[in-house]
C-alpha cells in the first residue's frame, strides 16, 4: 500500500474548530527515515487529525517504521528529525507510540527490558515509544473508525 504526501506548515499551530463528527483513527507507519516524505506525511496527517479534534487511538510503527523509534540516530542538519517530532506530538496529545516488538528486535531497536533479556550492552528505544505486539495493532484496528497506513 503506497503512502501519500501531506505537508502543511509544521510550525503553524492553528486552533482546532469544534468538530462534532470526530472519528477515531489508528495510524500505521511502515516507512522509515529513508523515506522522508512518506514518514513526514504520516506525522503531519496525524498532527492534523488531532488538531481537528479527532482521536488517534494509537500510532503503530511497523516494518521500516521501527527505525523511527531509535534513540541513537543522528539526522543531517538539512533533514527533519521525525523521532523528536513524534515524541513532542506524543507529549502534547498523550499519544501512544507503539512499536512492533518483532520488527524492532530484528532491526536492533530494544528497550531496557529486551536488552536485559537478550543480554545486550544497552537499549536504544527513544523516549515515549513503547514496544508492543501485533495484538495491540489488531485491538486498535477493531476499536477505531479508520485505519490509515503510510509506506509499504
Active site residues: 100
Question: Is there a contact between 151 and 82 (Cβ–Cβ < 8 Å)?
Answer: no
What is the rounded CA–CA span in Å between residue 61 and residue 104?
Answer: 9
What is the rounded CA–CA span in Å between residue 128 and residue 40?
Answer: 18
What is the rounded CA–CA span in Å between residue 105 and residue 121?
Answer: 14
CA 8, distance to chain mean position in Å, is 18
With residue 14 as reference, give the H or E element that holds it: none
Amino acid at each position: 500500500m503506497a503512502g501519500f504526501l501531506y505537508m502543511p506548515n509544521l510550525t503553524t499551530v492553528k486552533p482546532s474548530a469544534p468538530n462534532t463528527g470526530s472519528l477515531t483513527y489508528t495510524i500505521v507507519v511502515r516507512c522509515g527515515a529513508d523515506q522522508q516524505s512518506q514518514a513526514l506525511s504520516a506525522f503531519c496527517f496525524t498532527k492534523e487529525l488531532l488538531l481537528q479534534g479527532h482521536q488517534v487511538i494509537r500510532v503503530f510503527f511497523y516494518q521500516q517504521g521501527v527505525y523511527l523509534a531509535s534513540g541513537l540516530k543522528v539526522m543531517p542538519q538539512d533533514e527533519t528529525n521525525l523521532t523528536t517530532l513524534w515524541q513532542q506530538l506524543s507529549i502534547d496529545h498523550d499519544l501512544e507510540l507503539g512499536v512492533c516488538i518483532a520488527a524492532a528486535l530484528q532491526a536492533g531497536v530494544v528497550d531496557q527490558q529486551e536488552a536485559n533479556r537478550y543480554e545486550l550492552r544497552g537499549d536504544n528505544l527513544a523516549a515515549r515509544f513503547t514496544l508492543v505486539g501485533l495484538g495491540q495493532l489488531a485491538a486498535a484496528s477493531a476499536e477505531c473508525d479508520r485505519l490509515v497506513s503510510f509506506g509499504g
